[in-house]
Amino acid sequence: MKRKNEMETITQIARREKSEIEKLSKTLCPDTRKSQEETRQLLKAFSPTLQPKCYAYPERSICGTAPTLAVVRRDYGEQVAVDWLTIQLNDYQNFVGVKEENKLPIDTLKSLSAMILGRYYFLKLSELMLFLQKLKYGDYVAMYGIVDAVKILKALRLFMEDRAVLIDRAEQKRKEAERESYARRAVSYEKYKQMKKCEK
């Protein structure tokens, strides 16, 4: 009987969390330039379910074409950018499995989201989802019984170091591909002279 009551409580918590997220996803900043439908499409396209894919392809997540937080703020409004981050962070704290009373309240998550937006506005949505998936794997910090906003910010600083390495690696690959492409197109001096003769 006790087990059943516990399961009911978990179900109630899950429903409440879902309701909170749905409310967030419908929030629009008055000065937004995009429609409510376009905003829903953005939130759906970059929902937390995409995090494992971002983790599987880290270079694409960092060097790809996903919009940055700054672009989302410009095109959809600041509130939408904050809400998107809040949804992602709430997904993380639901994942780590701490007790309900040890989770960050939605207002605190929004404040944390605003701080991330303020400092890391240049990050793509895919990069932040890569970060949060790595955080779920425990790559940077471990949350013992409570979700700590300061630890998340410290972990994000560590992620920026990993990001710099991945950007450098991607740049080296690009340069190598360019060299290979040039080498394939290059001709020997003898062949060049023959080509010149044919032109005359």
* pLDDT tens digits in sequence order for the chain, 200 residues long: 444 444 445 556 556 655 655 555 554 444 446 889 999 999 999 999 999 999 999 999 999 999 999 999 999 999 999 999 999 999 999 998 888 899 999 999 999 999 999 999 999 999 999 999 999 999 998 888 889 999 999 999 999 999 999 999 988 887 877 777 776 666 666 766 676 666 65
Integer CA distances (angstroms), 39 to 28, 43, 90, 107, in order? 8, 6, 19, 21
Handedness of CA 160, 107, 137, 174 (dihedral sign): negative
Phi, psi at 28, each rounded to 5°: -130, 140
- Distance, in Å, from the CA atom of 3 to the CA atom of 67, rounded to the nearest integer, reads 45
**Token pair 């978990």: residue:** 10
As given in the structure block, the two tokens for residue 81 are 């950018």
**pTM as predicted:** 0.73
Phi, psi at 68, each rounded to 5°: -85, 165
Let me know: does 77 contact 37? Beta carbons within 8 Å. no
